[in-house]
Amino acid sequence: MIIYYGSYSTTDGKEYLIGYKEGEANTGDVIIKEIKKEGEV
């Protein structure tokens, strides 16, 4: 399971979620996922 704990937007209007895999919070293995807006592929 991936736990997301924050989000940020870039200057070009894209939004990203920041998270980590459950149980691996201290490994430094950060997961960044782009949030797709409705209508985008």
7-28: pLDDT as tens digits: 888 888 888 888 877 776 566 6
Structure tokens at 22: 């459950």
Would you say 31 and 19 are in contact if contact means Cβ atoms under 8 Å apart? yes
Higher pLDDT, 8 or 41: 8
CB atoms within 10 A of CB 4: 14
- Helix (H/G/I), strand (E/B), else coil: 25: coil
The pLDDT-based confidence of 41 (bands split at 50, 70, 90) is low
pLDDT, residue 33, reads 83
Rounded Cα distance between 15 and 3, Å, is 17
Q: So what's the pLDDT on residue 28?
A: 62
**Per-residue confidence at 30, pLDDT binned at 50, 70, 90?**
confident
Domains of the chain by residue range: 2-35
Task: Give dist(CA 21, CA 39) in Å, integer.
Answer: 28
